[in-house]
Amino acid sequence: MISSIWKKFCNTMLNENFDIQHRLLNILLSISLVLGLVSTAVTMLFFFNSIGNLFSLLLVFLAAVTLLISVKKNNPHLAVIIIVAVGDLMLLPAMYITNGGMKSGVQLWFVLGLIVPLVALKGNKLILPFISGIISAVSCMVLELCRPDLIIHPSNPAAESAKLISSFVFFGIIIGCMFVYQAFSYEEQSKLLIERDEELVKAMKAAQSANNAKSSFLAHMSHEIRTPINAILGMDEMIIRESTDKDVTAYAMNIRSAGNSLLTIINDILDFSKIESDKMDIYTAPYDLSILLRDCYNLVFMRAADKDLKFSFEVDKDTPKKLIGDEFRIRQVVTNLLTNAVKYTPKGSVTMSVGFEGQEDGSIMLIFAVRDTGMGISDEDKGKLFDSFRRINSAQTHKIEGTGLGLAIAKRLIDLMNGTILVESEYGKGSVFTVRIPQKTEDKAVIGSFTPQSPVLPEKKYRERFHAPDAKILIVDDVKINVEVIQELIKKTLICSDAAYSGEKCIELAAKEKYDIIFMDHLMPDMDGEETLNIIRSAKDGPNRNVPVIALTANAMAGAKEKYISMGFSDYLSKPVKGSELEDMLLRFLPAEKVVPYGENDPVRYSKNDIFGLEFLNTRAGISFCCGDISFYKEVLKSFAESDLPDRLCKYYSARDWNNYSVCVHSIMGTSLSVGAEELSAKASAIINALKNDNLSFVKEHHRSFADSCNKLRDRLADYFGEEA
Ligand code: ADP
């Protein structure tokens, strides 16, 4: 019962919807009400004092009314005003005068009256009630001092003392209860805060882990997408190289350009996820600024030319040439700004100024300013420019390719390099992006006058630069198609290759056979490239201990070469592997005696005792028909040397057995094609056509020469193999 009353009391007075001040006021009023009732009852019972008790009763009544207003009407402000107006200014002075002044203890109720506005009101609102309370209390005390005769003392001195004591007790109880409640609610609040804190930490951790999951998903997905793109671009390169059909070549070129765009997007996403998860590192290494500028110029020049834009670089000739910094990331930033300038400029010009400011410590502040006469950026949009995945001015830019990531990445990269980027732009007129990045200088050499090399070289039809049929390489990659791409790219160089799809397999093959070069993927499951390399290098008496090993990597950074060399690799190639870079690498690392240069007009020059001394055969074509397998090619040649096809051909011709004759010519055509006897194969094809059209006179006319060529080839091959034996 008591507990249910207490519960009800708590629910009503200390309702959670009331703020803490409101609740303190309710506590103050309700306790005053209860204690006031008790005290008045007791005084009335023992020490009857009609006027004094009347005012006490009125005060109790006031407490009851204002409590109702505060709780039921939910209007603590009105309650306080009534308390001050009626209580502080009327009832308390009346009680003071009629209950014996200071001796009655009413001054304590004045203090309580002052506490009421302090507890329940805020700011300016509490000044007037508070001052009124003070004036009222002080006036009463001054009155007592000046005119003590006006104060009415109870006839029974015990009643006066009882009032004083009860005032002290009640005042103590009320103030005590308020403090206890305040301490209690402070504790509750602290607990709540701690709980909220913990929840917040939990939520932050959850958000962090979701963010990490997102970043790792993006990184993983980008990596996964790169693998098929590598294959697409690699195989596409083969189409460009081998196709003689103009249309097919044009389609393949389009695939290459779309593939490269896709690769740029994937790289952007990968970079973005690295930045998001704080895994983006800046690698500093020495580099040549003039090469960086030339490459950036060449990369963007064609796009500007396609749009008839004037494209120029203005380079301060005193700018130091050899710098130390993250060349890869600076290239990325500059290329992004130049590409954007070209993309968002329909007509006019794009100009990049390059300069520097010398610093006291000998380093420089490298400054790039990319200026365009394009669509410009409104003041409102400038703030959104570096947000990720945000594209602005969509009415004009929605038809222009873009992800809204480029500038976000550029800004983060510049921050990581301790640089700054500034945008000045006038909507509709153009923009200037100015980047300042501190760089160290390697020496005092200056860049001089900048002349970009002519970038508009028409694409040359691919032609291998050398042959190395005696060379053998090992390609190690856990993704089969990556191996196939490299095999295709080296096909025309006649290099033989083995493939290993894991580190373990690589070690197994490398223990058995000596290779001239090993191309090794860096990131492989189970045993990665570095571990595999270490095992090969440390294998005592291993045939490939000192063989050049080239790392294959999808994430080439500035300083990558130094990184891979420090790991023990001889060099690195970045994926997607480009044919020309692969050939450069092969030319650098293959033993010189195994490389036979093959220029555009150079005849094929092979060593004398080699099987390829057979100048009457197109050995390249033959080996290519045998999938680059030299030993298989030799087998085919040998079987032609030993074959009775030319004899059978003549036999069937003499018997005019055209059916069997035709089968024979077919066989000769196939074999001659696969050994590289192109002329013979062409003759066979002509005879087959004639037979198909019943043109026997053609057959009769050409049979002799065809049979002679056949015999001649067989005899020469037989001689060759005889000599070799
Ligand atoms: P993207 O070009 O892939 O959309 P960016 O992050 O490089 O992404 O650029 C964000 C946006 O900023 C672009 O969509 C474009 O609206 C605006 N912008 C960037 N560079 C320029 C420029 N030189 N002139 C006008 N607008 C630009």
- Ligand 1 atom closest to the Cα of residue 430 is 24
Residue 417 has pLDDT above 90, yes or no: yes
**In the predicted structure, residue 85 carries a pLDDT above the cut 50:** yes
Q: Which of 407, 409, 429 to mutate to test the pocket of ligand 1 (most atoms within 8 A of CB)?
A: 407
Closest atom of ligand 1 relative to the 393 alpha carbon: 16
Which protein residue's CA is at the shortest distance from atom 13 of ligand 1? 391
How far apart CA 461 and CA 242 sit, in angstroms, is 9
Query: What is the Å distance from ligand 1's center to 33 Cα?
Result: 72
The DSSP secondary structure of 550-610, one letter per residue, reads: EEEES---TTHHHHHHHHT-SEEEESSPPHHHHHHHHHHHS-GGG-EE--SSPPP---TTS
Q: What's the gap in Å between 578 CA and the centre of ligand 1?
A: 30
On whether the CB atoms of residues 113 and 62 are closer than 8 A, the answer is no
* Backbone angles phi and psi of 172, in degrees to 5: -60, -45
Distance 394 CA to ligand 1 centre (A): 10
Please, what sign has the CA dihedral across residues 626, 631, 636, 637? positive
- Cβ–Cβ < 8 Å for 573, 551: yes
**At residue 642, does pLDDT exceed 60?**
yes
Pocket test for ligand 1, best of 385, 388, 429 (most atoms within 8 A of CB): 385
Highest mean pLDDT: which range of 205-214, 462-471, 583-592, 658-667: 583-592
Q: Which atom of ligand 1 is nearest to the CA of 407?
A: 6
Query: Which residues on neighbouring strands pair with residue 365, listed in sequence order?
Result: 357, 438
Highest-scoring range by mean pLDDT, 389-398, 540-549, 642-651:
540-549
Which ligand 1 atom sits closest to the C-alpha of 392? 16
Q: Which atom of ligand 1 is nearest to the CA of 341?
A: 23
Q: What mean pLDDT do residues 75-88 have?
A: 90
For ligand 1, say whether the CB of 350 is within 6 Å of any of its atoms: no
Question: Residue 534: is its pLDDT beyond 70?
Answer: yes
Residue nearest to atom 3 of ligand 1 (CA): 402
- What pLDDT shows up at residue 49? 60
Mean per-residue pLDDT for 369-398? Answer: 84
Instruction: Give 460's pLDDT tier (boundaries 50, 70, 90).
Output: low
Cβ(672) – ligand 1 distance below 6 Å: no
Over residues 532-561, the mean pLDDT reads 85
User: Which protein residue's CA is at the shortest distance from atom 23 of ligand 1?
Assistant: 341
pLDDT tens sequence across 256-285: 888 888 888 888 888 888 888 787 888 888
Owner of token pair 């809204």:
404
* CB of 388 sitting under 6 A from ligand 1: no
Measured CA to CA, the distance from residue 94 to residue 567 in angstroms comes to: 97
Which pLDDT band holds residue 570 (cuts at 50, 70, 90)?
very high
CB atoms within 10 A of CB 210: 10
Q: What is the pLDDT of residue 339?
A: 94
Which of 20-29, 212-221, 291-300, 333-342 comes out lowest in average pLDDT? 212-221
Q: What is the pLDDT of residue 667?
A: 82
Query: Exposed, middle or buried: residue 506 (CB in 10 Å: 0-12, 13-18, 19+)?
Result: buried
Mean pLDDT of 372-379: 92
CB 551 within 8 A of CB 569: yes
Q: Are 456 and 302 in contact (CB under 8 A)?
A: yes
Give dist(CA 406, CA 426) in Å, integer. Answer: 21
Residue 306: pLDDT above 60? yes
Sign, CA torsion 54/55/57/61 = positive
Give the model's pLDDT for residue 609.
Answer: 37
Residue 324: strand pairing partners: 286, 440
pLDDT of the residue at 93: 92
Ligand 1: residue whose CA is nearest its atom 7: 406
| DSSP three-state, residue 313 | strand
What are the backbone angles phi and psi of residue 333, rounded to the nearest 5°?
Answer: -65, -50
Contact assessment for residue 527 and residue 615, using Cβ atoms and an 8 Å cutoff: no
**C-alpha 439 – ligand 1 centre gap (Å):** 26
Helix (H) or strand (E) holding 441: strand 430-441
Per the model's pLDDT, the better-predicted residue between 710 and 461 turns out to be 710
Nearest Cα residue to atom 14 of ligand 1:
391
Read off the pLDDT of each residue in 306-332 and give the average, rounded to a whole number. 93
What pLDDT is stored for residue 602 in this prediction?
Answer: 42
> What radius of gyration do the chain's Cα atoms show?
48
Q: What pLDDT is attached to residue 724?
A: 60
DSSP β-bridge partners for residue 445: none
Q: What dihedral do alpha carbons 718, 719, 724, 725 form, nearest 10°?
A: 70
**3-state secondary structure at position 469:** coil
Q: Is the peptide bond between 576 and the residue preceding it cis, with omega within 30 degrees of 0?
A: yes
Q: Is the pLDDT of residue 43 over 80?
A: no
The C-alpha atoms of residue 655 and residue 269 are separated, in whole angstroms, by 73
Select from 523, 467, 525 the least CA-distant residue to 496: 467
SS (H, E, C) 364-390: EEEEEEEEECCCCCCHHHHCCCCCCCC
Q: How confident is the model at residue 456 (pLDDT cuts 50, 70, 90)?
A: very low
Report the range out of 66-70, 348-352, 449-453 with the highest average pLDDT: 348-352
Query: Using a 6 Å cutoff on CB, does residue 404 contact ligand 1?
Result: yes
Task: Please say if the pLDDT value at position 603 is more than 90.
Answer: no
Top-confidence residue, 64 or 598: 64
What atom of ligand 1 comes closest to residue 409's alpha carbon? 6
Asked if residue 416 lies in contact with residue 283, where contact means CB atoms within 8 angstroms, the answer is no
**CA 432, 437, 441, 442 torsion-angle sign:** negative
Q: What residue spans of 99-245 are helical by DSSP H?
A: 106-120, 127-146, 157-242
User: What is the pLDDT, as a whole number, of residue 457?
Assistant: 47
With contact defined as beta carbons under 8 Å apart, do 280 and 413 qualify? yes
pLDDT reported for residue 629: 62
Q: Which atom of ligand 1 is nearest to the CA of 340?
A: 20
Average pLDDT across the chain, whole number: 85
